[in-house]
Amino acid sequence: MTVTTHEIMLKTESKSKARILGKHLKSHVVGHEFEVLFELTNIGSIVFPGGDFTVNIEWPNGQEVIETLQIPVLNPGNMHKTSPLTTEALSRGFALLTLGGVRANDKKPVKFCKESGESIVSGPPRTVYAFYTILAKEPEEIYQFWAMLLSAVSLVFLVGIELIRFLMWLGTVLK
């Protein structure tokens, strides 16, 4: 007797909810919320009976967020978007999203894979298989970027003024 394995493709995307000085930022910022959305597609040839999967978000400082999400019944080729998982960026650096476990309601094995077809394995303890990463920055990094941009614009402005002055002086000398 052959045990049939369910096949689910997992597509992940994240969206920052950070605002600094009233401006919405695309960057994930430490201490600010962000959302993670999961799109699950049954790429197998049999009906997926529903179940759940656990996602771990592991930060460089050792903190982690663990969330279990439900998967509804999915016919072959059907897709389901989960409700957004909202959490905070807990540390500067890359957070790894790993699969903590997958369970189908009929107890059959479930194979998760990325869009590329690469398998996402829920391995033995202490083995990390990241399927998505999030880069979080400190607010100071954002401020430094804006300050550098403002400095560069000011420098271009000053160079332009001096160039105009030089051309005006050159015009009076060549007359």
User: Which residue ranges make up each domain of the chain?
Assistant: 6-137, 139-175
E strand spans, 59-122: 64-71, 79-81, 85-88, 93-104, 110-113, 119-120
Which residue's structure tokens are 């476990």? 101
61 to each of 30, 56, 91, 133, 135, how far by Cα in Å? 12, 14, 6, 15, 13
DSSP-derived secondary structure letter, 45: S
pLDDT of 154 reads 92
Domain 6-137 has CATH 2.20.28.120: no
Measuring CA to CA, which residue among 45, 39, 50, 47 is closest to residue 10?
39
Q: Looking at this protein, which amino acid is placed at residue 136?
A: A
pLDDT tens-place values along the chain, 175 residues long: 567 889 999 999 999 988 777 777 778 888 899 999 999 999 989 999 999 999 999 999 999 999 999 999 999 999 999 999 999 999 999 999 998 888 899 988 888 888 888 888 755 555 557 899 999 988 777 777 778 888 999 999 999 999 999 999 888 888 7
CB atoms within 10 A of CB 7: 19
Taking a C-beta distance cutoff of 8 angstroms, is the pair 78, 93 a contact?
no
The residues, any chain, with a CB within 8 Å of residue 15's CB and separated by 6 or more, are 34, 35, 37
- Distance between CA 122 and CA 101 in Å, rounded? 6
User: Looking at the DSSP assignment, which residues form a beta bridge with residue 70?
Assistant: 52
Instruction: Provide the whole-model pTM.
Output: 0.74
